[in-house]
Amino acid sequence: MYKDTIAAISTPVGEGGIGIVRLSGPKARAIAGKLFDHKLSDRRLVYGHIIDPESGDVVDEVLTAYMKAPNTYTREDVVEINSHGGAVPLQRVLELALSSGARLANPGEFTLRAFLNGRIDLAQAESVLDVIRAKTEASLRLAVSGLKGRLSGELKQVRSELMDVLAYLTARIDFPEDEVEAQDVESPLEQCRQTLDRLIADADTGIAYRQGVRTAIVGRPNVGKSSLLNLLLREDRAIVTEVPGTTRDTVEEVVNIKGVPFVLIDTAGIVHSKDVVESLGIERSRRAIEMADFVLLVIDRSEQLTHYDEEIIDLLADKTVLTVANKADLPHKAKMDGISRPVVTISALSGDGLHELEDMMVEAVLGGKVISSDAALVTNPRHKVLLKKAYDSVSQALKSAREGMPEDFISIDITATLNALGEITGDTVTEELLETIFSSFCIGK
């Protein structure tokens, strides 16, 4: 455990009914005792006041909880002071805690201490941030599943099996003259390989639920892109007029469609323009397409396709695209024969076709996959990269074993697999990696 005590405001900045100043460390209770005018008891919420030790002035009326180590979030002594939720009283309580011997916590340091003190592993620590940032109920369920250690449990089982194989191979290498009882190496390696393969196969689904699907709504001017955005959001978010080129910039909003968060990006109509502002908007639209995971190509089915439509289609050659044939309430004139991608017909004006559009959006992104509430699911891109690395290493170890290669070769690849998995769970982790991960947390968590 750390020798110093940290403090931070753990609730969002702004006005609210309650705000919390959290302390963690060996002096948490003593520091709180200097400021709080009542005696603190373990796991009891005590009413009282925060007093400025120097002036004797009452700073705020509070409820204070003391929790004794090790049964706390950080496995250290923890004190939480529940004051009124204004910026001034919270800041004042924090300043008194700091002047009484605490240090201002770094971003994510409470969760970092929980990890370093063995309460949670690194994958669970990252799930804490996923819970905070969850965009839908489905993504929240996945984050809570990660926090409960479902993924960690599967990976620890894989690591355990690999460690058994490595121990056997090490004994064969270190004691070649002794008779080490023969052990099956291929079966556990194959089992581990299959587990990693399954986790990787579902990773894109988990990542989509976690961070949202960046979806660019593109098309030439006046085909109904902004109307489509408003329809999907069920609100008038973007300005809609009959004047072409109304949208001059990209507009982003998040919508929950069957549990999947779609980050919708309404783009400026793509045409060749001499207007400086419009040209900037078009350039941003092109960048939005490049950065998008998924594209809704909007076509005006009441008009013939133009060369602008064709140019936009060419821009989307390497993208996952769903073509939206808008203005179904008007006579159909556009010939869609040249469009080979999935097409859904809607009227952004009346809302006809909306449910079919939403079904096809989810189908296009998830490929029909449905998340199971009790299955471990990879939701973090960092984890996916490391799982692929682990998969390649264990596959090579299995290949070496089947070809009768020396134990040294097999051991090297098993060790590489263990190291990659250890970077997910935190069993093999560098200080630089920890700094990178926890720097994305807010101060106070």
User: Could you report the per-residue pLDDT of 289-312, keeping only the tens digit for each?
Assistant: 888 889 999 989 888 888 888 888
Q: Model confidence over 190-245: pLDDT tens digits?
A: 999 999 999 999 898 899 888 889 999 988 888 888 889 999 998 775 444 343 44
Q: How confident is the model at residue 12 (pLDDT cuts 50, 70, 90)?
A: confident
pLDDT at position 375: 67
Distance CA 411, CA 406 (A): 9
Residue 381 vs residues 193, 207, 387: alpha-carbon distances, Å: 19, 7, 10
Greatest Cα pair distance, the chain, in angstroms, is: 87
Interval 337-345 mean pLDDT: 78
Q: Is the pLDDT of residue 279 over 90?
A: no
Q: Which element (helix H / strand E) includes 128?
A: helix 122-133
Task: Look up tokens 């090579």; give the residue.
Answer: 396
**Which segment of 107-116, 133-142, 202-211, 337-346 scores lowest on mean pLDDT?**
337-346
* Residues 6+ away with beta carbon under 8 Å from 424: 122, 123, 151, 155, 382, 383, 386, 387
Q: Is the pLDDT of residue 186 over 90?
A: yes
Domain with CATH 3.40.50.300 in the chain: 211-366
Interval 159-172 mean pLDDT: 92
Domain with CATH 1.20.120.430 in the chain: 124-202+377-426
Q: How confident is the model at residue 318 (pLDDT cuts 50, 70, 90)?
A: confident
* Residues 6+ away with beta carbon under 8 Å from 139: 130, 209, 210, 259, 261, 379
Q: Are 303 and 334 in contact (CB under 8 A)?
A: yes
In a 3-state reduction of DSSP, which class is residue 164? helix
How many CB atoms are located within 10 Å of the residue 440 CB?
A: 11
pTM as predicted: 0.82
What kind of architecture, by CATH, is found in domain 211-366? 3-Layer(aba) Sandwich (3.40)
Listed residue (129, 132, 126) closest to 152, CA to CA: 126
**Which segment of 1-10, 281-290, 359-368, 434-443 scores lowest on mean pLDDT?**
281-290
pLDDT at position 15: 85
Domain with CATH 3.30.1360.120 in the chain: 6-116
For domain 124-202+377-426, the CATH class is mainly alpha
Q: Are 109 and 438 in contact (CB under 8 A)?
A: yes
Q: How confident is the model at residue 313 (pLDDT cuts 50, 70, 90)?
A: confident
pLDDT at position 251: 75
pLDDT at position 95: 97
* Positive or negative: CA dihedral 370, 372, 375, 379: positive
pLDDT at position 359: 93
**245 has which bridge partners?**
none
Listed residue (133, 130, 155, 132) closest to 142, CA to CA: 130
What is the share, in percent, of the chain residues with pLDDT greater than 70?
Answer: 89
Q: Are 152 and 121 in contact (CB under 8 A)?
A: yes
Q: Model confidence over 371-421: pLDDT tens digits?
A: 655 667 899 999 999 999 999 999 999 999 999 999 999 999 999 999 999
pLDDT at position 366: 84
**CATH fold for the domain made of 6-116:** Gyrase A; domain 2 (3.30.1360)
* Residues 6+ away with beta carbon under 8 Å from 423: 122, 386, 429, 433
pLDDT at position 275: 46
